[in-house]
Structure 1
Amino acid sequence: MNLIKRLFTKKQNGEENVFENNLDSQKISEKESDGWEAIPTFIEMNPKDYERISVIVTAIAAGDRPDSQFVIKRILQRNPEARTVAIISASLVSELADDSQLFVKSIAKKKIDSI
């Protein structure tokens, strides 16, 4: 992980701006204290699919080396709610500027206080 941070680190005005990975950005943010709840980009996968996904991933990763071994620690899938919101919002914004490329960094929804 340190190698990735060093590759994506830029020093500007004596400060370092470190590239953040999606999983690190899911930490508690300042928005949550204001009544906003962060929607995670990735969620846990159904345990029934672990074996099939593990076999496919290790077969692709092994390639021409059948003697290699892999340990899969965690399997995540894209959050369908976050994906839908990102597609809709990017589509609406791109209508204003053709040939634009957009990146959604985080998605949050307003917390509904129960009575």
Structure 2
Amino acid sequence: MGWFKRLFGSKQEDSETALSNRSESVATNSASSEWEPIPAYIDADPADYELVSVIATAIAAGDQPDSEFVVKNIYQRNPEAKTVSLIAASLAAGAHEDSQFVVKSISKKRK
């Protein structure tokens, strides 16, 4: 009888489940508005554009000197995100020295 009920269950049960899922997502969105994501990469200093562009195009050109490249954006690692990810991975590793971790996102609480 249980599988009949699951297979041919009433639409009212489905709508109640959807309503509870919707209220959970609203609560999650309001909680996430307290946190501000920290980008992994930030814009590079404009003074470094020329040097970075020359090096990148030289490496990309390789043995084909007739090729042309256009560098549109230059980014650098965010020092704040780098420091936080190193500290978090080091703490998570703890006694397991052979472990590896990947930090997917970093957020800070808004003031």
Structure with the bigger percentage of helix: 2
User: 1-side partners of 2:31 and 2:63: how far apart?
Assistant: 47
Q: CA RMSD in A?
A: 1.6
Change in 2 beyond 3 A, CA 1:48/1:32 = farther
How far residue 69 of structure 1 moved from its aligned partner, in angstroms, is 0.5
5+ residue gaps, structure 1, are: 1-29
Normalising by structure 1, we get a TM-score of 0.68
- Identity over aligned residues, as a percent? 58
In structure 2, what is the equivalent of residue 103 of structure 1? 102
Contact kept in structure 2, 1:44 and 1:77, CA below 8 Å: yes
The alignment covers a number of residue pairs equal to: 83
Q: Which has the larger radius of gyration?
A: 2
List structure 1 segments (4+ residues) > 6 angstroms apart after TM superposition.
none
Change in 2 beyond 3 A, CA 1:43/1:32 = farther
Normalising by structure 2, we get a TM-score of 0.70
Range moving further from structure 2, 69-78 or 30-39: 30-39
Helix, strand or coil at the partner of 1:43:
strand
User: 2-side partners of 1:83 and 1:77: how far apart?
Assistant: 11
User: 1-side partners of 2:32 and 2:81: how far apart?
Assistant: 20
